[in-house]
Chain A
Amino acid sequence: MSPSDAHFSPKASRRILGPVFGVACFLATMTGVVFLSILLGAVLRAASQGATLAETFDLLGRLARSTRSRDPDLAGFKAGIAGSLWLLGLVFALAIPVGVGAAVFLEEYMPPGRLRRVIQMNIANLAAVPSIVYGILGLAVFVRGLGSSRLAMGSALIAGGLTLALLVLPVVVIATQEALRTVPSSLRQAAMALGATKWQVIRDHVFPSALPGVLTGAILSLSRAIGETAPLLMVGAAATKVPTGLKDRFTALPVEIYKYASEANPKFQVVAAGGILLLLALLLTMNATAIIIRNRYGRSARG
């Protein structure tokens, strides 16, 4: 025993607590996985009704090809899928540039101070506002044009897109700000010291470094937008036809699921379950694409 051992007597528990914490974290991870599996299993069973996998795929194919109908054997989600894809594009085009721009301004240009704190707090609060409130906002501002008939858009695709874009905007701003904050200041200093302007530093160094984080924020917000139902019901997403332009009336996949699920005829439950599978498939495809893009950009920013 060395003489210094007398001063150190670590608690015996420190060797046990590590593994215990590890197991607790593992269980936490499994919670999500288990419930997602239960959900998937239940929906699959409801949709397939004991049929084989191939038959289930046939069913999903049919559901994706036919539009809304009173007859559960003819009913489908074509209009909803088209509407959701349109909305996705609109939200991407509207919310991502505006949100990223706002975040860059707040992080890179605005001097810290009271005004910035106030704006920051407001954005954080906006992210927590229930989506139905955005629905009401969309109804008043975009659908009704605040009472002016010239500004009113009616229950058009563009009104739905603008409403969802507003809904996800705070998430985009906050995620982008977080991403910008992780860019080390040594990188900015190195670039500034070479005689670069702020714009050159942001364009060539800050932004590429922050891009993976920005894309994560974009993925999260688009996923949220595609799953929203309440605000779209509010702005009147109730069309049964595939929209062909921004001024057309529209519907969305979750809205149609909701409508089918509330039909009395139990055969519609199968249709609704199929719709949920389609929605999940759409979400997974989208996320996978985004992750691939992100990884590619992540590498090029390094190399």
Chain B
Amino acid sequence: MSPIMPEVKAVPNVSSGGAEPLPAGTDVPSTAVLSTRDLNVWYGISLALRDITIAIPRNQITALIGPSGCGKSTLLRCFNRMNDLIPSARMTGEITFEGLDLNSAETDPVSLRRRIGMVFQKPNPFPKSIYQNVAWGARINGYRGDMDELVERSLRRAALWDEVKDKLNKSGLDLSGGQQQRLCIARTLAVDPEVILMDEPCSALDPISTARVEDLMDDLKSEYTIVIVTHNMQQARRTSDMTACLMLDDGAQHGHRTGIIAEFSPTDRLFTNPKDPRTEAYITGRIG
């Protein structure tokens, strides 16, 4: 439970999400917030992800790694139904979020996306003031508290406040890339999500900004569940508790690239003692 805006947050339902048993063989130290079972995703007729079964543990950082095109971003977009925006995308199988069936027609993707926030690869602040960047999401979700205070709290939480407190009315686009990315994180925090999905959030940043974002993630994980896609093995190792290594399926139909989960284990084990030979080849730099 986050200290930010506790009044808005849904009371965690212990009987549904909290006690759900995890799929066998995953060896997850705490309970799952998000889990998928036999998830398949198509773009048109091409199968992009096959038989994905994964459980994202609460208040931990889960890293998704794997070669380009294996469907990491696709999987991430399944979690907040952003794939709905791609007309050709289709999915089957089961995804549950706190006991809620994400794939069902009754689930409203709009209210879901407030609870499962997303940070994109390329910093994409709104062409508005820094203040408005943070306040907008809260306002359109009907936030009724003190907006100035929420903006300050979110910016502080994203370790950006000291750099921008004197220029809140300046455009968010006038910030540096690293600051923009932290602004995007602040904007996500302002709507008080339970899960934060990050798609290569540091790939456009220099090492110092990257370190700041990583520190921030570590800081945030006590209140949020984080799923991060990264191409940087060191980053996955440094930041995450669990790591899922996705691979391209060798047996996929000719001309199609289908992603599968090769291995999903605690990060130290995956990197020191990988069970799957393809994972080992990938993390040691022999494929991918």
B is bound to A: yes
A200/B113 in contact, CB under 8 A: no
Once A195-B110, A303-B169 are accepted as A-B contacts, the answer to whether A190 and B191 lie under 8 Å apart by CB is no
A187/B110 in contact, CB under 8 A: no
A194/B113 in contact, CB under 8 A: yes
Choose one: B85, B87, B136, B169; the contact of A192 (CB below 8 Å). B85
A186/B110 in contact, CB under 8 A: no
Once A186-B120, A186-B122 are accepted as A-B contacts, the answer to whether A192 and B129 lie under 8 Å apart by CB is no
Choose one: A187, A200, A208; the contact of B124 (CB below 8 Å). A187
The residues of A that contact B87 with a CB separation of less than 8 Å are 111-112
How many chain-A residues does the 8 Å CB contact rule pick out? 23
The residues of A that contact B122 with a CB separation of less than 8 Å are 186
Query: Quick one: which of B177-227 are within 8 Å of A by CB?
Result: 184, 187-188, 191
Chain A interface, DSSP helix/strand/loop, else mixed: helix
Once A189-B82, A204-B136, A302-B171 are accepted as A-B contacts, the answer to whether A196 and B126 lie under 8 Å apart by CB is no
Choose one: B114, B127, B173; the contact of A194 (CB below 8 Å). B114
Once A112-B87, A197-B110 are accepted as A-B contacts, the answer to whether A191 and B126 lie under 8 Å apart by CB is yes
The residues of B that contact A188 with a CB separation of less than 8 Å are 85
Choose one: A184, A193, A195, A302; the contact of B141 (CB below 8 Å). A195
A194/B137 in contact, CB under 8 A: yes
The minimal Cβ–Cβ distance linking B92 to chain A, given in whole angstroms, is: 21
The residues of B that contact A301 with a CB separation of less than 8 Å are 127
- A209 contacts the other chain (CB 8 A): yes
B126/A193 in contact, CB under 8 A: no
Once A189-B82, A190-B120 are accepted as A-B contacts, the answer to whether A209 and B127 lie under 8 Å apart by CB is yes
- B118 contacts the other chain (CB 8 A): yes
- B117 contacts the other chain (CB 8 A): yes
A195/B124 in contact, CB under 8 A: no
- A294 contacts the other chain (CB 8 A): no
Q: In the A-B complex, list the 8 residue pairs whose CB atoms are closest, starting with the nearest.
A: A195-B114, A194-B137, A193-B118, A186-B124, A195-B113, A190-B124, A200-B140, A196-B140
Binding site for B on A (CB under 8 A): 111-112, 184, 186-197, 200, 204-205, 208-209, 301-303
Binding site for A on B (CB under 8 A): 80, 82, 85, 87, 110-115, 117-118, 120, 122, 124-129, 136-137, 140-141, 169-171, 173, 184, 187-188, 191
Given contacts A189-B120, A196-B137, 4 further A-B contacts (CB under 8 A): A190-B125, A190-B126, A192-B85, A194-B117
Chain A to chain B contacts (Cβ below 8 Å), 5 pairs = A190-B124, A190-B187, A208-B127, A302-B128, A303-B128
